[in-house]
């Protein structure tokens, strides 16, 4: 099955700086890569996703890049704000209803 590794496990950034989270996947047939944000005591929330036919996607302060050859994808958050503090999960799927999640990155934005 698919194996998704996520790094780093914790990330502390100064408010206004950028944050980058990286994930690698093992199944070359995977073609869908979402990112979820989970705040304390809540369910994961889909914040951005990318399909394998696209190399980069942006939505305001967040962007995701995909390198299919190297089988890795990354989440970039620019101009971080305190409300960006949360746990972020990457995931991968081969469009078969099954999402394989990374272990998560706890992001702390210092004021």
Q: Which residues bind other proteins (CB under 8 A)?
A: 1, 4, 6, 9, 32, 34, 36, 42-46, 49, 89, 93, 95-104
In the bound state with other proteins, the residue whose beta carbon lies nearer, of 71 and 78, is: 71
Provide, rounded to whole angstroms, the least separation between the CB of residue 24 and other proteins. 14
Provide, rounded to whole angstroms, the least separation between the CB of residue 74 and other proteins. 17
Can you tell me the distance from the alpha carbon of 7 to that of 77, in angstroms, rounded to the nearest whole number? 15
In the bound state with other proteins, the residue whose beta carbon lies nearer, of 42 and 83, is: 42
Can you tell me the distance from the alpha carbon of 6 to that of 60, in angstroms, rounded to the nearest whole number? 23
* The 72-77 sheet, strands edge to edge: 4-7, 19-25, 72-77, 62-67, 56-59
Can you tell me the distance from the alpha carbon of 73 to that of 60, in angstroms, rounded to the nearest whole number? 18
Provide, rounded to whole angstroms, the least separation between the CB of residue 15 and other proteins. 27
């Amino acid at each position: 099955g698919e194996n998704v590794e996520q790094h780093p496990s914790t990330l502390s950034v100064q408010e206004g700086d950028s944050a980058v989270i990286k994930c690698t996947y093992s199944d070359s047939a995977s073609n869908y890569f979402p990112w979820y944000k989970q705040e304390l005591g809540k369910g994961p929330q889909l914040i951005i996703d990318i399909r394998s036919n696209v190399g980069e996607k942006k939505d305001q302060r967040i962007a995701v890049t995909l390198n299919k050859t190297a089988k890795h994808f990354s989440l970039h958050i620019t101009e971080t704000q305190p409300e960006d503090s949360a746990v972020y999960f990457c995931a991968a799927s081969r469009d078969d209803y099954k999402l394989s999640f990374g272990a998560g990155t706890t992001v702390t934005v210092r004021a």
